[in-house]
Chain A
Amino acid sequence: MNGVRTYRRPISTWWWVGKRTYFVFVMRELSSIFIAWLVVYLLLMIAAIGRGADAYDDFLRFAANPVVVVVDLVALAFVVLHTITWFGLTPKAMDVRAAGRPVPAAAVIASQYVGLVVVSAFVVWLVSR
């Protein structure tokens, strides 16, 4: 548009605060950091187990530190958010068809929760056996 003086509106750093959907989106993105923390935590635990009983006791003491407990609780909340939001978005990203017909979104979401329960049950069985 030549010759016309247009006005470009600045975007605030806090553009994501005013609207619920934007806020949930940014929280969902932020949850990746806590997923990464959980992976590091798991690797630390496995490394400690690999080094023997003393190292594992040291890890347990580290894990019982109030700061670590609080971080883990916050991480748990974000992991739950991460799981719920991404499971909810799956039907949008995947066009699942069975016998030529699109599978309802609710069925796609439900199947992921079923998968989560099955895998969790297997892990519980594995560690409590």
Chain B
Amino acid sequence: MPDEAGTIGLRVARYRPDTDSEPGWQEYDVPLRREWTVLDALNHVKNEVDPTLSFRWSCRMGICGSCGMDVDGTPRLTCGTFLADFAPGPIRVEPLSNFPVVRDLVVDIDDFIQKLPRVKPWIIRDEEKSVDEGEYLQSPEELDAYKQFSMCINCMLCYAACPVYGLDPDFVGPAAIALAERYDLDSRDQGARERLDVLIEHEGVWGCTFVGECTRVCPKHVDPAGAIQRYKLKAARESVKALLLPRGAR
């Protein structure tokens, strides 16, 4: 394929809250370059064609997690989604599903920002070691236990892919639960009990019906669906223990 093979159509969802009552569509033609991603195409539109188009982006290398959008109906990081894979087009670009739209391709993720601290995604100790005692040591095996879940970049693709979150916005959601699991599996952490109290609620892990789409769209292979199912096993075990054992033995 030559560097440039004509053009490809972008069908972009537009919403201007000051003038529009609901989102509409706008078509743009962009150069179909082999090395161009959907984000490159949007930047081309913004710089050369229509400066009013709004979207979020930052690093362009799949690290910052800001450029997530629905491309042809599937949540993706637009910086890692190549135009050539959608030829001959047109390519449908929409704001991430399940979130309120602020403007054009920008969504309001406040709901996630509120939910995240509820699962306490930080290391909790019963008693902090003093600095003189040195650092908390960890073996490579102990690191491996949680490393996969620590790769989350909060890009919200999993929330956009999750029909449960779409239908019940109170659901804590895939990324937050995967991050809770990340700290539970950390050998330095002692906060599993506190997190379970939040996640054992109906809006916690039990809201999940194991659609599995969160894992399929995750650009970092975090596997939130796996984390949630393992949390369910843990929650079920704790419930059985609470039923059978006297208080002191739990």
Knowing A6-B101, A25-B212 touch, does A11 contact B108 (C-beta < 8 A)? no
- Contact flags B124-159 to A (C-beta < 8 A → 1, else 0): 000000000000000001000000000000000000
- Contact flags A57-97 to B (C-beta < 8 A → 1, else 0): 00000000000000000000000000000000100111100
Q: Is the CB of B229 within 8 A of A7?
A: no
Contact of B100 with A by CB under 8 A: yes
Contact of B25 with A by CB under 8 A: no
Contacts of A1 in B (CB 8 A): 102, 108, 110
- Contact flags B110-126 to A (C-beta < 8 A → 1, else 0): 10000000000000000
Contact of A113 with B by CB under 8 A: no
Knowing A15-B163, A92-B215, A94-B233 touch, does A100 contact B101 (C-beta < 8 A)? no
Knowing A7-B101, A19-B73 touch, does A93 contact B229 (C-beta < 8 A)? yes
**Chain B count of residues within 8 A CB distance of the other chain:** 29
Docked Cα-Cα span, A125 to B118, in Å, equals 54
Contact of B15 with A by CB under 8 A: yes
Q: Is the CB of B17 within 8 A of A4?
A: yes
Q: Is the interface of A mostly helix, strand, loop or mixed?
A: loop
Q: Is the CB of A21 within 8 A of B100?
A: no
Knowing A6-B108, A7-B15, A11-B166 touch, does A92 contact B232 (C-beta < 8 A)? no
Docked Cα-Cα span, A94 to B230, in Å, equals 6
Instruction: For A22, give its contact among B15, B17, B110, B211 (CB under 8 Å).
Output: B211
Q: Is the CB of B233 within 8 A of A89?
A: no
Q: Is the CB of A18 within 8 A of B73?
A: yes
Q: Is the CB of B226 within 8 A of A93?
A: yes
Docked Cα-Cα span, A100 to B144, in Å, equals 11
Contacts of A16 in B (CB 8 A): 163
Contact of B213 with A by CB under 8 A: yes
**Chain A count of residues within 8 A CB distance of the other chain:** 22
**Between-chain CB contacts (< 8 Å), 29 pairs:** A4-B17, A4-B102, A5-B17, A6-B17, A6-B102, A7-B22, A7-B101, A8-B100, A8-B101, A9-B97, A9-B101, A11-B167, A15-B163, A15-B166, A16-B163, A21-B211, A21-B216, A22-B163, A22-B213, A25-B211, A25-B212, A89-B212, A92-B210, A92-B223, A92-B225, A93-B226, A93-B229, A93-B230, A95-B226
Sort A-B residue pairs by CB-CB distance and give the 10 closest, nearest first.
A93-B229, A6-B100, A5-B17, A7-B101, A92-B226, A25-B211, A8-B100, A1-B108, A6-B108, A11-B166
Hey, which bits of chain A sit against chain B, CB under 8 A? 1, 4-9, 11, 15-16, 18-19, 21-22, 25, 29, 89, 92-95, 100
